[in-house]
């Protein structure tokens, strides 16, 4: 199921009570269908980096905000960010949820020549 961003908190939607909301969820899943690979990676954009570039956030239409640790951002990508002067890069991300339901990136693959 898709994620929902409300009051700055992004949580995975587990169940919907109303048919209209369920239709919206299904529409979001279908529109994001082509952005997933066979092995569960999802195309997302790196849209924010921490001050020391030790963490960041990625987003997509399907998941509006997910935390990504520095260990998941390759040195090659960080070098490209420094060289290009901007960090809006496309990544293939495998998104998981922690014990509180917050999405985080468990694994990434850098898409070359993005943006």
Any idea where the domains of the chain sit in the sequence? 3-110
Give the model's pLDDT for residue 115. 44
Q: What is the mean pLDDT of residues 106-114?
A: 76
Q: What is the 3-state secondary structure (H, E, C) of 18-82?
A: CHHHHHHHHHHHHHHHHHECCCCCEEEEEEEECCCCCEEEEECCCCCCEEEEHHHCCHHHHHHHH
Cβ neighbour number for residue 108 with a 10 Å cutoff: 21
Does position 106 have pLDDT exceeding 70, yes or no?
Answer: yes
pTM of the full predicted structure?
0.66
Q: Which CATH class is domain 3-110?
A: mainly beta
Confidence of residue 1 (pLDDT cuts 50, 70, 90): low
Cβ contact 81:69 at 8 Å: no
Contact indicator for 46, 78 with CB cutoff of 8 Å = no
At 105 the pLDDT is: 92
Instruction: Name which residue leads in pLDDT, 23 or 6.
Output: 23
Q: What percent of the chain has a predicted confidence (pLDDT) above 90?
A: 5
Instruction: Look at residue 93 and tell me whether its pLDDT is greater than 80.
Output: yes
What is the pLDDT at residue 114?
Answer: 47
Whether the CB-CB separation of 39 and 9 falls below 8 Å is answered with: no
Tell me the per-residue pLDDT of 11-61, one tens digit each, with 9 for 90 and over: 666 655 667 766 776 777 777 777 778 888 888 888 888 877 788 889 887
């Amino acid at each position: 199921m898709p994620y929902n961003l409300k009051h700055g908190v992004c949580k995975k939607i587990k169940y919907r009570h109303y048919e209209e909301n369920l239709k919206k969820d299904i529409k979001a899943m279908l529109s994001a269908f082509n952005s997933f690979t066979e092995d569960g990676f999802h195309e997302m954009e790196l849209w924010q980096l921490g001050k020391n570039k030790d963490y960041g956030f990625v987003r997509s239409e399907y998941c509006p905000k997910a935390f990504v640790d520095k260990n998941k951002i390759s040195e090659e990508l960080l070098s490209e960010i420094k060289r290009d002067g901007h960090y809006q890069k496309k990544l293939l991300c495998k998104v998981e949820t922690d014990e509180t339901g917050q999405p985080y990136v468990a694994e990434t693959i850098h898409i070359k020549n993005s943006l």
